[in-house]
């Protein structure tokens, strides 16, 4: 028995030693101990790309094992209503690395060699190009194009904390996590129970802790460095080993940038300088946005009631401008992108009348077409729709009815879509809209351009935003129209004019209810999504014999309190309006909503200042405390409170029935807006928070503090 154990151990060590080996052909490879941006520690086999000026590492590799590998894999992807599950079968592995040449100059380092495995080999080239003291570009290429998986492993500090990756709704600090990046429906529940189990049983649509509408392969760390991968395929990032970062992309190359800086805000500025920044918002965007349905007379009367109560309503958002239909999921829209004259007769006159009263009218569009009607027939006739593997128009299941996606890789289809936006929306009087969806492209679709849907899936929502933006620019309305998107990926911040967080549950659920909106804004803000907000009250409403999810008055009030301190203050009736407490349900709620509408509007000048910062520097309006207190380790795991700029601290009530909250106060002193009491920073405090008085504090001696205090005081 003992001999068998020894033999088994020998076999284990033998086969392990054959995998992930790194061989350096020393007769051909030599590295200087130190050069302009390379540091080679021969005794520790540590190769670093460094910024001498900032005394920081861009990236480092421990060269005692393979840090680059690749594979051939067969994906196994299940798809239902934009919820994806991923698995794969590895066919070949090239997981042994040989370095045969290293070429260094003052501006670059190129590492060349070969990847090998059983029945698998490929030459490779890794180039790091120094752009300046803050930025390095990397480009990793494989010669064997059969390979469709690439893996990179590099060093991390044991206590290096991780933030970003676009909108992450369950976690802010991702150290110790392994997450995936792929834009999809965020899921119904995302781990909150029992709804997640129910959604999975019924439609496989429950989601999990990492499902997101807008994930981005970008992150920043407490070492004041950030990494951005230009790739567009499905990917995973593994931070479960404290000292290593492991990256996997489902393609055969890697490209991107690494930045280092002295401050995390500088990293955001550097990143958004490359990827884009949001435009300024028009002046009317800073008032109350009422999301209403039901036709011209009903919406006009509801807006008037709110304004009579002193609510500074500047926007009427009517998603049902195209008409509605009942489905198993609730009240849904007709996807045929022209005004429904039955519900909104003389639509252009209606928009003009509302604008004359000081209220802009916004509508709704997405990149689908309902499976009937004039536009559908035209798109079908001219080949503007996404195809399946048989070359047929791809019928896609949505929540309640089938539909077809417009093929945005077809230039004629894109132009046709822009003409719909220009003629049926802008010319009709709409000054903005929700540009919904973007995450539905099937993994096995066939596209006009010939590009693989596997690589284009994450680009689709970015192109959807680009087409909306171009339509606005082409009619000379840049800066006067606002559209807001939920799905996104890298470079979304270049094209979208505004983001919203998608369809949260009407609940206090940690992963998909009110609390998740704070986490989503914080992680998204670090990732370049500087202008963001959520539906007041949430969206997804469920009738179920186990548990109903209906919006309560308390949930509505707590959501109103939170969103009054975000840049956009917008309601949504939800998918089952009759089941939800609304802004107009009773006079008490009308008054409550008006009060916080006035508070939000009182912050207009401050919000405009922060939006200008977002436009010029990429800074998010809603900020994690870490951004301004990066050396305070107490800020690293805070996902339930936020700063508005630098001078407002908000600790919202996120639990049902709670009348107090506990939160962390950073350095300095902070003044309660309700009673003018000061609390000392650098510690946690518990705050009394009855409904109507959320925990909101102003920074003592902040640049905007006195203006903010006076503005709020005058609004009450």
- The CATH number given to whatever domain includes residue 150 is 2.60.40.1760
Query: Does residue 194 fall inside a structural domain?
Result: yes
Average pLDDT of 29-53?
82
Burial class (CB in 10 A: 0-12, 13-18, 19+), 162: buried
What per-residue confidence (pLDDT) applies to 112?
96
Burial class (CB in 10 A: 0-12, 13-18, 19+), 562: buried
Query: Does residue 182 fall inside a structural domain?
Result: yes
Model confidence, pTM: 0.95
Condensed to tens digits (0 to 9), the pLDDT of residues 256-309 reads 999 999 999 999 999 999 999 999 999 999 999 999 999 999 999 999 999 999
Condensed to tens digits (0 to 9), the pLDDT of residues 180-209 reads 999 999 999 999 999 999 999 988 999 999
Tell which residue, 539, 284, 606, has the closest CA to residue 431.
Answer: 284
- Please name the residues in contact with 357: beta carbons below 8 A apart, sequence gap of 6 or more: none
The angle at the Cα of 687, spanning 681 to 688, to the nearest 5 degrees, equals 160
Active-site annotation holder among 57, 185, 248, 436: 436
Is 412 one of the annotated active-site residues of the chain?
Answer: no
Question: What is the number of domains present in the chain?
Answer: 2
Indicate the Cα dihedral angle 519, 525, 574, 325, nearest 10°: -130
Active-site annotation holder among 192, 503, 512, 647: 503
Whether 287 and 607 have beta carbons less than 8 Å apart is answered as: no
Average pLDDT of 658-667?
98
Burial class (CB in 10 A: 0-12, 13-18, 19+), 461: buried
Query: Does residue 651 fall inside a structural domain?
Result: yes
Q: What is the greatest pairwise CA distance in the chain?
A: 91
Condensed to tens digits (0 to 9), the pLDDT of residues 535-562 reads 999 999 999 888 999 999 999 999 999 9
How many residues comprise the chain? 716
Query: What residues make up the domain containing 695?
Result: 627-715
pLDDT band at 18 (very low <50, low <70, confident <90, very high): low
Condensed to tens digits (0 to 9), the pLDDT of residues 80-133 reads 999 999 999 999 999 999 999 998 888 899 999 999 999 999 999 999 999 999
E-state strands within 543-636: 569-570, 622-623
Query: Does residue 341 fall inside a structural domain?
Result: no
Query: Does residue 418 fall inside a structural domain?
Result: no
Active-site annotation holder among 393, 439, 613, 647: 439
Percent of the chain with pLDDT over 90: 89
What per-residue confidence (pLDDT) applies to 3?
39
Tell which residue, 533, 367, 360, 319, has the closest CA to residue 466.
Answer: 367
Q: Positive or negative, the Cα torsion across 506, 508, 514, 520?
A: negative
What per-residue confidence (pLDDT) applies to 176?
98
Q: Is the pLDDT of residue 5 over 60?
A: no
What per-residue confidence (pLDDT) applies to 33?
65
What per-residue confidence (pLDDT) applies to 8?
35
Is 436 one of the annotated active-site residues of the chain?
Answer: yes
What three-state secondary structure class fits 229? strand
- Rounded CA-CA distance 471/485 in Å is 15
What per-residue confidence (pLDDT) applies to 538?
98
Query: Does residue 344 fall inside a structural domain?
Result: no
Q: What is the mean pLDDT of the chain?
A: 94
- Last residue within a domain, chosen from 275, 301, 328: 275
The CATH number of residue 699's host domain is 2.60.40.1180
Q: Cα dist. 237→161, 218, 246, 293 in Å?
A: 14, 10, 6, 42
DSSP β-bridge partners for residue 73 = 90
pLDDT band at 330 (very low <50, low <70, confident <90, very high): low
- Rounded CA-CA distance 133/121 in Å is 36
Condensed to tens digits (0 to 9), the pLDDT of residues 125-152 reads 999 999 999 999 999 999 999 999 999 9
Tell which residue, 449, 575, 517, 456, has the closest CA to residue 183.
Answer: 456
Query: Does residue 697 fall inside a structural domain?
Result: yes
- Rounded CA-CA distance 222/261 in Å is 11
- Last residue within a domain, chosen from 227, 246, 275: 275
- Rounded CA-CA distance 538/521 in Å is 15
Is 553 one of the annotated active-site residues of the chain?
Answer: no
Whether 670 and 650 have beta carbons less than 8 Å apart is answered as: no
Average pLDDT of 399-407?
90
What per-residue confidence (pLDDT) applies to 627?
98
What per-residue confidence (pLDDT) applies to 562?
98
Query: Does residue 373 fall inside a structural domain?
Result: no
Between 296-308 and 587-602, two packed helices, what is the crossing angle to 10 degrees? 70
- Last residue within a domain, chosen from 258, 275, 292: 275
Condensed to tens digits (0 to 9), the pLDDT of residues 483-526 reads 999 999 999 999 999 999 999 999 999 999 999 999 999 999 99
What three-state secondary structure class fits 18? helix
């Amino acid at each position: 028995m003992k001999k068998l154990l020894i033999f088994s151990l020998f076999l284990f060590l033998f086969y392990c030693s054959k995998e992930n080996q790194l061989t350096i052909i020393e007769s051909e490879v030599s590295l200087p101990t130190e050069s302009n941006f390379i540091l080679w520690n021969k005794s520790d086999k540590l190769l670093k790309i460094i910024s001498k000026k900032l005394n920081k590492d861009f990236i480092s590799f421990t060269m005692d094992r393979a840090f680059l590998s690749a594979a051939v894999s067969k994906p196994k992807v299940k798809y239902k209503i934009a919820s994806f599950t991923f698995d794969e079968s590895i066919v070949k592995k090239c997981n042994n690395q040989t370095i045969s040449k290293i070429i260094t100059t003052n501006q670059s380092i190129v590492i060349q060699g070969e990847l090998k495995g059983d029945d698998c080999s490929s030459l490779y080239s890794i180039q790091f190009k120094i752009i300046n003291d803050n930025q390095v570009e990397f480009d990793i290429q494989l010669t064997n194009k059969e390979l469709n998986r690439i893996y990179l492993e590099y060093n991390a500090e044991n206590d290096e904390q991780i933030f970003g990756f676009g909108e992450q709704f369950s976690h802010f600090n991702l150290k110790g996590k392994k997450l995936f990046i792929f834009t999809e429906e965020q899921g119904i529940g995302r781990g909150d129970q029992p709804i997640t189990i129910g959604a999975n049983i019924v439609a496989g649509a429950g989601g999990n802790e990492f499902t997101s509408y807008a994930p981005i392969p970008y992150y920043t760390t407490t070492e004041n460095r950030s990494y951005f991968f230009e790739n567009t395929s499905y990917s995973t990032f593994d931070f479960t080993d404290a000292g290593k970062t492991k990256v996997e992309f489902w393609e055969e190359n890697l490209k991107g940038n690494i930045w280092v800086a002295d401050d995390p805000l500088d990293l955001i500025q550097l990143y958004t300088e490359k990827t884009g920044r949001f435009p300024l918002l028009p002046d009317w965007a800073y008032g109350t946005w009422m999301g209403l349905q039901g036709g011209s007379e009903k919406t006009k009367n509801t807006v008037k009631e709110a304004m009579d109560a002193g609510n500074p309503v500047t926007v009427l958002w009517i998603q049902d401008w195209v008409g509605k239909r009942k489905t198993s999921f609730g009240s849904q829209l007709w996807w045929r992108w022209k005004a429904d004259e039955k519900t909104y007769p003389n639509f252009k006159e209606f928009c003009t009348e509302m604008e004359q009263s000081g209220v802009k009218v916004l509508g709704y569009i997405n990149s689908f077409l309902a499976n009937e009607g004039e536009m559908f027939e035209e798109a079908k006739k001219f080949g503007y729709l996404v195809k399946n593997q048989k070359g047929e128009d791809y019928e896609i299941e949505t929540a309640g009815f089938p539909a077809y996606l417009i093929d945005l890789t077809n230039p004629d289809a894109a132009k046709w879509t822009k003409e719909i936006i220009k003629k049926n929306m802008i010319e009709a009087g709409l000054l903005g809209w929700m540009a919904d969806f973007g995450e539905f492209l099937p993994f096995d679709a066939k596209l006009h351009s010939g590009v693989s849907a596997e690589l284009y899936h994450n680009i689709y929502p970015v192109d959807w935003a680009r087409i909306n933006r171009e339509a606005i620019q082409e009619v000379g309305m840049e800066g006067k129209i606002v559209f807001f998107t939920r799905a996104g990926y890298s470079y979304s911040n270049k094209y979208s004019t505004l983001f919203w967080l998608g369809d949260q549950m009407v609940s206090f659920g940690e992963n998909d209810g009110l609390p998740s909106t704070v986490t989503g804004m914080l992680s998204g803000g670090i990732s370049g999504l500087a202008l963001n907000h959520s539906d007041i009250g949430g969206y997804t409403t469920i009738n179920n014999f186990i548990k109903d999810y209906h919006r309560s008055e308390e949930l509505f009030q707590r959501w109103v309190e939170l969103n009054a301190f975000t840049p956009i203050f917008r309601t949504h009736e939800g998918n089952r309006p009759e089941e939800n407490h609304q802004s107009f349900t009773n006079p008490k709620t009308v008054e409550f909503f008006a009060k916080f509408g006035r508070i939000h509007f009182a912050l207009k000048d401050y919000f405009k200042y922060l939006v200008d910062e977002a436009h010029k520097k990429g800074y998010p309006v809603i900020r994690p405390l870490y951004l301004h207190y990066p050396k305070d380790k107490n800020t690293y795991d805070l996902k339930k409170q936020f700063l508005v700029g630098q001078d407002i601290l908000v600790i919202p009530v996120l639990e049902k029935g709670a009348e107090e909250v506990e939160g962390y106060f950073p350095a300095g002193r902070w003044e309660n807006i309700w009673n003018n009491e000061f609390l000392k920073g650098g510690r946690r405090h518990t705050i009394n928070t009855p409904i109507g008085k959320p925990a909101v504090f102003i920074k003592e001696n902040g640049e905007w503090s006195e203006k903010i205090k006076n503005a709020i005081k005058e609004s009450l």
